[in-house]
A and B are shown apart, each in its own frame.
Chain A
Amino acid sequence: MIELQSISKSFGQVKAVDKISFTTREGEIFGLLGPNGAGKSTTIKMIMNILTPDSGSILFNGSPLRESDKDRIGYLPEERGLYRKVKINQMLLYLASLKNADGSAVEKRLDTWLARFDLSEWKTRTPEALSKGMAQKVQFIASVLHDPEFLFLDEPFSGLDPVSTDVLREAVLELGSRGTTILFSTHNMEVAERICSRILVIDHGREVISGSVADIKSRYGHNTVAVEFDGVIDFGSLAGMVRNVSRFPRWVEVELLEGASPQALLKCLVGQVSVRRFEVVSPSLHRIFVELVGGPGKAEGERMGGTA
């Protein structure tokens, strides 16, 4: 169990993290969400004791992190790096040995992980010729090879192709089901929605919302409609019944104003486009995120909306 009690961190005038508190439960997958520069990485670095908080405390199973606790933690930093001149197996075993894990069990795990990520042929080669995505998978192996109880992943999915994203997501889910407590940061809401049991959204260093994904969705779950269509919608004609629209080329997610009925919206749309699907849904995490963090006119939110 990891417990953050009101931790803050400033760099000069900039308040990177402002009174953040949360507790992860044993064996859960906890998502730390927020736009770029929200303070996610700073928070994880403080948990890893790489940075020291200005105030507040971080507890591991009730006591501050000791040097020996580091052996029970796996960490994938946001800054990815590998020793370029060292063979991949040599390097991975070295990093595991620095967590006091060695022997045949580790070597066996190494082969399993390499095979799983389709990297077996790279085992005795240096990482110089690895692609960015492959290097990222090697680094992920480095963070789990010593079979840690806690796993901290800073933006683990950024820069991965869809297939690799799936493989990595499967791996994270499997580790979670085996009891590893996983804390990961991302701005990719789709992934967070699929694998997190609970999330904390932060922006400008402050907590925006926290709780289980299901709770949060139901809290914001009134009057959202997903529409799939062919044609062009005149959004001007929807004024008066719509509060917010997330637009995509072939579908939109619409949040209705208080009192507006989905039926009225459907009627209005039918005259304009050919509707292929019309569904009253709970909002996606993406939608909630943009509303909480970005909202109209906030550049960061717009950018976030575009990347998800």
Chain B
Amino acid sequence: MSKLARIIRMEFRLTVANRVFIVLTILGPFLIAAVTILPSLLSTSVAGMGARATKIALLGADPRFVQEISPIFQQSRIEVSAAQGSAESLDSQVRAGTYDGYVVMPADLSEVTRLEYVTTSSSDFRVMGVLQGVIGKALVAQRLVKAGIDASQVASLTQVPVFEMRQLTKGGEKKENPDFITVMVTGLTLAMLLYMTVVLYGQVIGRSVLTEKTNKTVEIMLSSVRPMDLLFGKILGKALASLLQYGIWVTISAAVLKLIGPRLGISIGAGLSMGTLAYLVLFFILAFFLYCSLYAALGAASEDEQHLGQLAWPVVIFLVIPVVMISSIITMPRAPVIVGLSLFPLTAPIVMFLRILVGAAEPWEILVSIGLILAATIAVIWLSAQIFRVGILMTGKRFSFLEVLRLVRYR
């Protein structure tokens, strides 16, 4: 067995035999279930969030009109009622909380182009949107009936056609493209997976490298093995342990969801083709190793756990950037900035994955992106090895990253 394999085995054993690891492996699926299922159950209905119905007064509205439209509002947990009186009196009722807001309805609705909604909340776009949709549609219907159109035809006449996109690829074939939401959810899945993993295992690897320094075992190790072997061994050993844990989690979660999922009305794996899944796994693993090696470098450069924490937080930013930009990436996948981000190793995994999903990545771009991620990973591990060696010279002192790079030359 090679020395590298021995290091991998030892690191794997050390990780897997850890009590925290075992507990997390067993409890993980339940935690994930709690984190993923509960919010989706809660957010599907407004009631689930614990909010009470919104009360809206329609000032000066015809009670018959209000009666007509109130069932539609009830679906959105909005109670509308007709109100009479002055705007001032309603103002005070809104302030007192009797109503959440009111709409001023003019006596003649046939010519009206603007309606005023008065509320204390400045950001209740949901209510505003529902009001506009329901009242607007009702008014248009009223006008059409007034213009002599049969009331039964109004619905079909005012129906706006739904747009569906079908994309032509270079080869001339047509293929179905996943819609915006599916792309977004799949992209976010990768981002969340990466984020969780990096925060969890990146720290583990960083700490493992750091303990070689705090335990002062660096020199003993380096008297037997190359720094690169030691770092590769640590990263691979911990990575294998984490992949084992993921395997267990995915299996248990899938089994649990298959049993319980249908009863809760949750389907899994919908909209994920085999090709997409393959890219997801590929980019996940690439990103995982790149980030792990970055954490190893930070572990080699830091003096204690607190210092590691300080050095490590900017790393996560590169996972957040693609998430923040996700709608721009999906809508403008060929914009130069997006293409750049899909090639820059730290953001590439998520951005390139999204570009592939929307069918806007050339094969050579995918290959370059993967090549750059691999090259960056090896470069970072090489750099960590240098920092690791230099670390022997700087025990007990905190160094800035620039100073570390300067010291690398003294080796």
The answer, among A79, A94, A142, for a CB contact under 8 Å with B6, is A94
Known: A94-B6, A94-B10, A100-B3. A142 touches B219 (CB 8 A): no
The answer to whether B215 and A98 have CB atoms under 8 Å apart is no
* Alpha-carbon separation in the docked complex, A94 to B237 (Å): 15
- A97: CB under 8 A from chain B? yes
Can you name the residue of chain A whose Cβ is closest to the Cβ of B410? A11
The answer to whether A50 and B410 have CB atoms under 8 Å apart is no
Report the contact-size class of chain A (Cβ under 8 Å from the partner).
20 to 34
Known: A11-B410, A82-B217, A83-B215. A48 touches B223 (CB 8 A): yes
Report the contact-size class of chain B (Cβ under 8 Å from the partner).
20 to 34
The answer to whether A83 and B411 have CB atoms under 8 Å apart is no
The answer, among B7, B215, B389, for a CB contact under 8 Å with A50, is B389
Known: A11-B410, A50-B392. A81 touches B222 (CB 8 A): no
The answer to whether A77 and B219 have CB atoms under 8 Å apart is yes
Interface string of B1-34 (1 = CB under 8 A from A): 0010011001000100000000000000000000
Q: In the complex, which residues of chain B have a beta carbon less than 8 angstroms from the beta carbon of A94?
A: 6, 10
CB within 8 Å of A: which B187-234 residues = 211, 215-226
Q: In the complex, which residues of chain A have a beta carbon less than 8 angstroms from the beta carbon of B221?
A: 98
- A95: CB under 8 A from chain B? yes
* Alpha-carbon separation in the docked complex, A77 to B392 (Å): 11
The answer to whether B395 and A73 have CB atoms under 8 Å apart is no
The answer to whether B219 and A75 have CB atoms under 8 Å apart is yes
Interface string of B88-123 (1 = CB under 8 A from A): 000000000000000000000000000000000000
The answer to whether A98 and B7 have CB atoms under 8 Å apart is yes
* Alpha-carbon separation in the docked complex, A82 to B215 (Å): 6
Could you say which of B7, B393, B395 has the most chain A C-beta atoms within 10 Å of its C-beta? Answer: B393
- The B contact surface, by secondary structure, is helix
CB within 8 Å of A: which B362-405 residues = 389, 392-393, 395
The answer, among B215, B220, B389, B393, for a CB contact under 8 Å with A77, is B220
Q: In the complex, which residues of chain A have a beta carbon less than 8 angstroms from the beta carbon of B3?
A: 98, 100
User: How many Å from the CB of A124 to the closest CB on chain B?
Assistant: 14
User: How many Å from the CB of B354 to the closest CB on chain A?
Assistant: 41
CB within 8 Å of B: which A25-80 residues = 45, 48, 50-52, 67, 70-71, 73, 75, 77, 79-80
Can you list 27 residue pairs at the A/B interface with Cβ under 8 Å? A11-B393, A11-B410, A48-B222, A50-B219, A50-B223, A50-B389, A51-B389, A51-B392, A51-B393, A67-B226, A70-B223, A75-B223, A77-B216, A79-B216, A79-B218, A79-B219, A81-B216, A81-B220, A82-B215, A82-B217, A83-B217, A85-B14, A94-B10, A97-B6, A98-B3, A100-B3, A139-B220
Contact residues of B with A, CB < 8 Å?
Answer: 3, 6-7, 10, 14, 211, 215-226, 389, 392-393, 395, 410-411
